[in-house]
Every structure is written in structure tokens, then in C-alpha cells.
A and B are shown apart, each in its own frame.
Chain A
């Protein structure tokens, strides 16, 4: 039982490049989330999906898109990476009115 798995764990991009961060959960949770973590800023919600087929913006959605491919998978796409998107990205899964469980994170650097 892996819980929440994120790939890749590390990535370096050049400004303007695109990439997709992958997330999969094996806990049969309805809700999934993408957060970014920056020093002193806590965890800020980028997008979330309350259930399969739905996605909604969080606190900092600009520059990102998401896809809830099925109940297990929720991907985050950067269409044109910018240095301001250098961060640690966390995916999480959970039920709507309960706690969420996090993956190990993706450390992204945009140069």
C-alpha cells in the first residue's frame, strides 16, 4: 500500500519549458489536491478535485492546469515554466470531510 505516489521526485526545467507532475493514490479517496510549499509561506493550495470529473481552483492557480484522469490520478501541468514556479510540490488525497494524506513531494527548479 503505497498511499500517494508522486513522480518525478526532482526536476530541473528551463524557463518556458512545459512539464506534467504525476500523482496517483491507492486509498480510494474521492478528493485530491495539489499544493506548493515555499519557505515561510506554508502549504498553498493550487488546485483540488473533490471527486472524479471535477476540478477547482485553489489559492494560487495561475500558471497551472490540472487533470483528474480517473479516481486514482491527478496531474498538474506547467505549460510555460517560470522561475517563480520553483518550489516543492505536494499531492494529497483524502475524503471530503476528513484528513488528507500526502505524497513525498516533487522538488522543481526552474532556471
Chain B
């Protein structure tokens, strides 16, 4: 099946540090989505990207739709303890919504 490669798998950082994670695929996609899952909750949409090269911000979060349409990046600036959770990338594929394996982020106060 279709596979998204998300890295890193986990991160343990100090509060205040910036965070970068990415998602790559061997296929081209027209939509890239980034979700966050808090412990014990369902995933919540952070940023949606619909155009190659697009750079979109949501507060301290910035995501980019790769120019090749095969990858996407998510950056978090000045991390805080509530940034803890699992971050997923996702793509649209003929009506389906396919997710990466997730990046688990832990923030040390």
C-alpha cells in the first residue's frame, strides 16, 4: 500500500527549542495535511496545504508543501510543554486519507 515516511519517529527536546519534522513519499500528492494528537484524544488538524511550494503558518507552527509534491515539512518554533503529542502527516489518495506513522514529541520544561 501507499507509504508515507515520517521522521524522526520521536524527539525529546528542551522547552524553548525549535522543532523540525518531515514527511516524504515516492508518489506525488496534491494535498498535504498535518495533524496533532494529544494523549487520549483524537487527531486534530493543524495545517492544510493545497499547492506545491506553499508555506503556511498557524501561530508558532509553519508547514511547507514541497515543490516536488513528494514531501512536506512542519516546524514548531519556541516549543512549550503543551506541544507534547504525536504529529502526523496525511495525504489524499482517491478518496482515502492516508497517514504517516507519526512523530512523537516530548518537551522537557
B88 touches A42 (CB 8 A): yes
A40 touches B98 (CB 8 A): no
Partner of A42, one of B1, B97, B101: B101
Give the distance to chain A from B52, nearest Cβ to Cβ, in Å: 16
Q: How many residues of B contact A (CB 8 A)?
A: 22
Q: How many residues of A contact B (CB 8 A)?
A: 28
A43 touches B88 (CB 8 A): yes
Partner of A48, one of B41, B42, B43, B95: B95
Chain A minimum-CB-distance residue to B42? A102
Cα–Cα, bound, A31→B43 (Å): 17
Interface presence of A69 (CB below 8 A): no
CB < 8 Å A-B pair total: 56
B99 touches A43 (CB 8 A): yes
What is the interface of chain A mostly: helix, strand, loop, or mixed?
Answer: strand
B95 touches A104 (CB 8 A): no
Q: Which of A29-63 contact B (CB under 8 A)?
A: 31, 33, 35, 40-45, 48, 50, 56, 58-59
Could you tell me which B residues sit within 8 Å of A by CB distance? 1, 6, 9, 31, 33, 40-45, 48, 88, 92, 95-102
Known: A42-B88, A44-B99. 4 other contacts (CB 8 A): A42-B100, A50-B95, A59-B98, A97-B31
Could you tell me which A residues sit within 8 Å of B by CB distance? 4, 31, 33, 35, 40-45, 48, 50, 56, 58-59, 90, 92, 94, 96-105
